[in-house]
C-alpha cells in the first residue's frame, strides 16, 4: 500500500513539473505575418475574432490585409482564411484556443497589429474578446461595421472625411470605450444604456435615446451608430 502511495505521489509531482516546465521552456515568443494579396475582388467581408490580449486595427495595407501576430503560446496561433466568391473576398481571422494550464495563465501574451486596405469597400465585423483594443478606421471604405467589445478598454476612431455613410452596430460589454467621431460628417447615435455612463456633451439630443452632431443637419453623408452599452464609461469625442 505504501508503495502505491509513493508511486502516486511521484507521478503527481512529475505531472505538475511537466506542466510547469512546458510553460516555462516551450511557451516561447513567436511571431507570424499576415498578407492577403490583392486579387479581382471589388469588396471585402472581414471577420476578426480576437480572444485575449492587445488588438490594433488600422487602414493603409499595401495588400488587401497585412500585419503581424505576436504570441507566446502555440495554442494562441490565429487561423486565417480567405475565399473569393464572385467579386467579394471573405477574410476570417480567428484566435486559436487558449490553453491555460491552470496557475500559469498570466504568462500568456497575445498582440495583433492588422492593416486593412483603403482601396475597396469593407463590411467589418470585430469581436474584441477580453482585450485592450484600438480600431483606427479612418480612411477605410466601410459598408458596415459590427463590434462586440467584450471585456476591456478600447478606442474606436471613426474620424476623417467620409464620402459614404454606413451603419455601425456596437455591443459594448464591460470596460471603458472612447469613440472619436468626424466633425464634418453627420453622425447619429442611438443608445440603449445598461449600467454604464455615457458622455455625449458634444452632441444634441434629437429624441429619446437619439443624439446627433452639429454637422448632421446639413451633411449629405450620415454615420448611424447603434449602441447597446453594458457596464463602464462610454465617451464620444469630435475630432479636430
Answer whether 79's CB lies under 8 Å from 96's CB.
yes
What pLDDT is attached to residue 227?
Answer: 92
State the alpha helices, DSSP H only, in the chain. Answer: 2-21
HSE-CB at 148 with a 13 A cutoff on CA atoms is 10
Cell numbers describing residue 187: 453622425
Residue 50 · residue 95 · CB < 8 Å: yes
Cα–Cα dist 104/82, whole Å: 34
CA-derived radius of gyration, the chain? 22
Residues of the chain with pLDDT under 70: 1-31, 98-107
Q: Tell me, what DSSP letter sits at residue 217?
A: G
22 to 15, 29, 103, 104, 221: CA distances (angstroms): 10, 13, 13, 10, 55
**Whats the size of the chain, residue-wise?**
240
Residue 38 burial (10 A CB sphere; 0-12, 13-18, 19+)? middle
Parallel, antiparallel, or unpaired: how do β-strands 154-157 and 130-136 relate? parallel
The reported pLDDT for the residue numbered 14 is 37
Distance (Å, whole) CA 131 – CA 176: 11
The cell numbers describing 39, all together, are: 486579387
Q: Is residue 107 classed as helix, strand or coil in its secondary structure?
A: helix
pLDDT given for residue 50 in this prediction: 95
Amino acid at each position: 500500500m505504501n508503495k502505491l502511495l509513493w508511486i502516486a505521489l511521484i507521478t503527481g509531482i512529475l505531472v505538475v513539473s511537466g506542466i510547469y516546465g512546458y510553460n516555462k521552456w516551450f511557451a516561447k515568443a513567436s511571431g507570424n505575418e499576415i498578407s492577403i494579396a490583392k486579387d479581382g475582388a471589388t469588396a471585402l467581408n472581414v471577420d476578426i475574432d480576437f480572444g485575449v490580449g492587445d488588438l490594433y486595427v488600422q487602414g493603409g495595407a499595401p495588400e488587401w490585409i497585412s500585419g503581424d501576430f505576436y504570441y507566446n503560446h502555440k495554442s494562441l496561433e490565429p487561423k486565417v482564411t480567405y475565399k473569393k466568391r464572385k467579386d467579394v473576398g471573405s477574410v476570417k481571422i480567428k484566435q486559436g484556443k487558449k490553453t491555460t494550464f491552470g496557475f500559469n495563465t498570466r504568462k500568456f501574451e497575445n498582440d495583433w497589429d492588422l492593416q486593412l486596405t483603403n482601396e475597396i469597400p469593407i463590411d467589418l465585423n470585430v469581436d474584441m474578446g477580453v482585450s485592450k483594443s484600438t480600431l483606427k478606421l479612418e480612411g477605410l471604405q466601410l459598408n458596415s461595421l459590427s463590434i462586440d467589445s467584450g471585456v476591456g478598454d478600447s478606442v474606436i476612431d471613426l474620424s476623417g472625411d467620409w464620402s459614404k455613410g454606413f451603419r455601425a452596430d456596437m455591443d459594448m460589454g464591460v470596460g471603458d470605450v472612447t469613440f472619436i467621431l468626424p466633425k464634418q460628417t453627420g453622425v447619429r447615435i442611438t443608445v440603449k444604456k445598461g449600467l454604464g455612463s455615457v458622455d455625449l456633451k458634444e452632441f444634441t439630443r434629437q429624441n429619446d435615446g437619439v443624439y446627433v452632431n452639429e454637422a448632421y443637419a446639413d451633411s449629405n453623408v450620415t454615420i448611424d451608430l447603434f449602441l447597446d452599452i453594458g457596464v463602464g464609461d462610454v465617451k464620444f469625442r469630435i475630432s479636430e
